[in-house]
Structure 1
Amino acid sequence: MPWWFFRRHSRNTARTATSAQPSSGWHLGEVALPRLQGSRRYLQEQPYALPKDLGEANRLDFQHYILRAILHGNYLAPIQQPRRILDVGCGTGQWAFELAQQFPQAEVIGLDLELVKASASPPPNYRFVQGDILHGLPFDNDSFDFVHQRLLVLAIPLAAWPSAVRELARITAPGGWVELVESSTGMQDFMPSGPATQELWRLGGQLVSLRGLDSDGIVMRSLGDYLEQAGLGNIRYQLIEAPLGTWGGRIGSLLALDLREIGKAMSAPIAARFGTPEQEVFELIQQAEKEWNQYKTRFRFAVAYGQKPVRP
């Protein structure tokens, strides 16, 4: 039951099992993507819309450096000297590795569905924990000074977001911070755009909607609300526009390459679900790249962070 959140027993507070509302439009097995779609590996039992394989691991590392450049750092929250840091949906672990090096006195944990890429020499204060936020996090209340989560809009169903953020707040220590980073899935945040871009976004939006995921940019716009609903304070929300395409220099070129790879990764599922030849999807991607330069397209990200109140 992938949409149920199970509140785990804590030494501090006894909690009974509660559930999030099931996401509409997607249920296990309804959109049956095989584990191997061509040369790519997908998770059939999860709503996650992108592959889980070496190619995706390489893209995630590449994406990390793009985001770090766009944000001028790895985080925006005003953290000081955290003792414990958690990265939810850590991917390859690169963000967490860098935080472990920046804060050698802290214990840094990366959590994901599976170990994406084993590191020969992870920082000594880093460790990986396998887990799924859709089933609740395997940590006690008030465990971390800084909880970070980014770019899970294609992994967490829209209806599950409020409960997911409450779970992040639960494990955050009083005075600690939760930071969320997301990109938009709405066409209105991909502007100005041409016809190929709009068609590509329409096909991708239909696919993620069938899996209960956000296709309209709702999550990105609601990050601050989710933090407030979870009981956090001192909330800050920042909308960030980045150039897309070679017209935008190095950042624009790198971001275009990243989105091109995401489009290619979703081409096989789009073809399997809607009967659109995969070659047509590739051609749309190529045409969309030309449009990004022609229209000087910009793409939006949002960062929101909030602080857990200190108990009187």
Structure 2
Amino acid sequence: MRWWFFRRRSCPASIRRTGLEESVLPSRTSSRRYLGQQPYLLPKDLGEVNRLDFQHYVLRAVLNVERHMIDAPISAWAGRLGSLFSLDIREGWKAMTPPIAAYFKMQEQEIHNIIEQAGKEWDALNTCYCFVAAYGQKL
């Protein structure tokens, strides 16, 4: 077997690039293409490189990041605030009923019944919604 068959071919001197162009991934005119489920340490395409650059910029620009987890009570067992939060959640789900019913091939009335049943369960189980708030100091 010829070992030089797999050897990397060098570019002619006329098309070699120098400087910054070598470190930038080529842009593609088509949609993103990358290995789907393959784990890889480095970015797989230019979109991923741009996302990581932005993430690095944002994380460098913020100091003293603090995170607070707040358990927001849902339903009437928590008083007026819990009742309003429960109402907001139920009305939000009711507003999305037509696309949900179409996706699951169900009647809209069935979805409404499920939403009302969820509200009763929140009352019986003293349910809380875990809300995460994060903030930091800008440089």
Q: Same fold (TM over 0.5)?
A: yes
Aligned counterparts, 1:179-218, within 5 A = none
Judged with a 3 Å threshold, the aligned counterparts in structure 2 of structure 1 residues 230 and 291 are, in CA distance, closer, same or farther, namely farther
4+ residue stretches of structure 1 with deviation over 4 A?
none
Structure with larger Rg: 2
Judged with a 3 Å threshold, the aligned counterparts in structure 2 of structure 1 residues 307 and 273 are, in CA distance, closer, same or farther, namely same
Out of 257, 281, 285, the residue aligned to residue 115 of structure 2 is 285
Aligned counterparts, 1:1-312, within 5 A = 163=51, 166=54, 229=59, 231-309=61-139
More helix, by proportion: 2
Where does structure 2 lack aligned partners over 5 or more consecutive residues? 1-26, 33-47
1:231 CA displacement: 3.9
Percent of matched pairs sharing the same residue:
42
SS of the residue aligned with 2:84? Answer: helix
Describe the superposition over 1:33-69 as per-residue Cα deviations: whole angstroms up to 9, x where unpaired: xxxxxxxxxxxxxxxxxxxxxxxxxxxxxxxxxxxxx
How many residues matched? 91
- What's the TM-score, normalizing by structure 1? 0.27
SS of the residue aligned with 2:96? Answer: helix
SS of the residue aligned with 1:289? Answer: helix
Q: Distance in 1 between matches of 2:138 and 2:80?
A: 37
- Which has the bigger relative contact order, CA under 8 A and spacing at least 6? 2
Q: Distance in 2 between matches of 1:230 and 1:267?
A: 42
Where does structure 1 lack aligned partners over 5 or more consecutive residues? 1-17, 23-159, 171-226
Letter of the structure 2 residue corresponding to residue 248 of structure 1: A
What is the root-mean-square deviation in Å for CA atoms of aligned residues?
Answer: 2.8
Describe the superposition over 1:174-209 as per-residue Cα deviations: whole angstroms up to 9, x where unpaired: xxxxxxxxxxxxxxxxxxxxxxxxxxxxxxxxxxxx
Judged with a 3 Å threshold, the aligned counterparts in structure 2 of structure 1 residues 269 and 234 are, in CA distance, closer, same or farther, namely same
